[in-house]
Structure 1
Amino acid sequence: MDYSIADRQMSIMDKLGILTDAAKYDVACTSSGNERKGDGTGMGNTIKAGICHSFSGDGRCISLLKILFTNECIYDCKYCVNRCSNDVPRASFTPDEVCRLTIEFYRRNYIEGLFLSSGILYSPDYTMELLYQTLYKLRREYNFQGYIHVKAIPGANQELVRMTGFLADRMSINLELPTAEGLKKLAPNKHRKNILTPMRLIQNGIAVNKNEVAVYRHAPVFVPAGQSTQMIIGATPENDYQIMSVAQNLYDKFSLKRVFYSAFVQVNEDKDLPALPGGPPLLREHRLYQADWLLRFYGFRADELLDEKRPNFNVLLDPKEDWALRHLEFFPVEVNRADYQVLLRVPGIGVKSAQRIVKARRNGNLCFEDLKRIGVVLKRALYFITCSGHMMYKTKIEEDYITRNLLAVKEKLPAEAGGMTYRQLSLFDDVRFAPQRQEIRQAAGMAY
């Protein structure tokens, strides 16, 4: 089959260099949520804790073999480095090449799974069929039983998406931009309906398949690790309230596992793209991830964190601290009596520490020293809690006073844009060992 209009004589290593670099801006490559084990007849497995991740300095996941099948694309999205109007080196793998790379790198412990996305080669159906063929070969012919995350192609035949779902652990469809208006402006070839249709298909397929597996023990499993999506942040003028409302809607209506927020990186010059004199909006991305955590694990709703009058997050305080300061009428909380959901709303108390508090206080009242051992961050929590009716220190339940003290507690924030690099780490990056090209080929057991 003619897979690409690119140079067919290009070596697989050259393709790997181009197509790993082309995939570096896609951040939605988490692998948690699946505990399927290998059956002993093939290679690899995936457990509930997911793949052991490594992360680059800007938070991008590097532990999977993260590649595009092709960076050829018929679309001309203004924010994308792989858009058809860009003069960039183009390459495409064949299904067998992706399988060989995955197996050889897995055998040598370079990777623990595969994250496979793609540009649109010729048409959505054509591209989706190639992705399906790749996963089918990897599972059935190469007996790979490790983790696979694949991107579904919006607009592709639904049966192809469905069949691919029985071969993947996780699937995702990029929402691209938070609103349909932004999509129309920056990605005129893409349509919200084409994105949401396969998202709904995957959601319904997961629900139906759970019932089938419950009845028929050996029924094939459909997308066992669920689905996720990604939004580019800062390319269009939506505020944080709009973005979090979209995320809340996706969690509620499509049962997504994760929504990823990718700070806009200006790789193209275009009049419709914003100027970023300060670099990518990494602090904003950081705040959105913190708020997303509150939606998924802490019982918050988007409209509790922000509203139309206050549409953006506080750059100085994390969203949970900011919410607490605006709702001081709920504090202080007595840790020996408050229920679990109330404890989750206290700054400095996380999911695990709240669970430990509920469990430990069955044996008697807790003191501040107990809370410290449990894992509560007292330098944040002390303004919002009491133990047996007493606060840790004499303090004021006053917004300005607490704000000044919280600002004195340094928060770990993303690196400044000036010190960042957007080069995705390769499989062979190691400060102790920098093999030459021929050594890499030999290590992979391939002849080029």
Structure 2
Amino acid sequence: MGSKSKTVNVVTLGCSKNIVDSEQVMRQLTSSGFSVVHNSDDLSKSNIVLINTCGFIGDAKEESIEMILKFAEAKKSGQIDKIFVFGCLSQRYREELSAEMPEIDGFFGVNELKTVVKVIGAEYRQQLLNERELTTPDHYAYLKISEGCSWGCSYCAIPLIRGKHVSRRMEDLVVEAQLLAKKGVRELIVIAQDSTYYGQDIYGKRRISELLTELSSIDGIEWIRLHYAFPSQFPEELIETIANNPKICNYLDIPFQHISDTVLLNMRRGISMEETYTLIEKLRKGIPNLALRTTLLVGHPGEGIDEFDELCRFVTKVKFDRLGVFPYSEEEGTYGAKSFQDTIPLEEKLRRAGEIMKLQQNIAEELNRQKIGSVIRVIIDQEEADFYIGRTEHDSPEVDGEVMVKKGDFSLICGEFYNVKIMDSIDYDLIGDVIL
């Protein structure tokens, strides 16, 4: 058997939770003697392609289908031998995809990682459950603490795809984090569909604060970053945990989605405008120097001009440190698709999204200008021609801004921390000089 036939190209689409799934599969494959490459465009490197798909919103589904078709063409021309597809899109539309794409060798759901490993020809080893082949830089990794979601927001298909919230046991997470630390990981990015619900299903209470405290005791881990905290019924003890633990970044990703009571009710978010403002006040009062990231959804049924104007006032008033926005996409089977008519044209949704981002860009530029002259701790992610590229504790990889550290007659090491004096800013990014 040639080396190419023992190499699998794992292609990952979608969110960081999919990245973790791919990394778990890759570790199982390497344990059986396979070589793996990740997101490779070089068709000469492998003869098996495994595509991990996203099925969350319309654009993501289109991207996944285009990727499948791209490799299907390569198979037709004899460049690769086999294609397997798994993940969210495959979970939701397996029958339709199988009927339309007979050239694909197999479609598998999100909970069939063991089957995927076996069909490729590898042995699935239960003892490797907490091990992964990292696709991120060596110094940071995602830690997925639960699967699924139990909230049932009107627009979201995740419960239909991945089921209700299922927490992983704390001892398993600690073991996985210890293994990551031994590999050189210094920053853990804690992810889940709702990270603050962690533990409720298996322990009878939320234990996200305890988990973060346990993770912070691991030697080698210096930053712990929390993503995807649900705003409704937010566990307030978490505020004190973040504020008092120096290893937990003063950073919180909490997707508010909207502020209008009408839209929040239609979205089934379980929180009101008043409660939202109260929570933000508590977070900023309780956690000094907090960077607050949020995600907003525009164009949901019920969002008229008044509701959108209220959302714009919310963005202007709160001045989020980081913000992303998406246009509403009707997803079959969701409460929103069953209960509302999607009457807002896509062009109008995109216009609203653009208006929100224009507001946010001005806010981000203003906040960045306030940092000029300050000295900030930065972790270096990569080296480019004229700059080292790093991040502060207020910046998560891929989604937030960066710090461009000007090169000089010195060398910086990727994965190491440095103090950087901020000299200038451009849009969402900072420019600085390292203090050696």
Structure 1 length as normaliser, TM-score?
A: 0.41
Q: Higher relative contact order at CA 8 Å, sep ≥6: structure 1 or structure 2? A: 1
> Which structure has the highest strand share of the two?
2
Structure 2 length as normaliser, TM-score?
A: 0.42
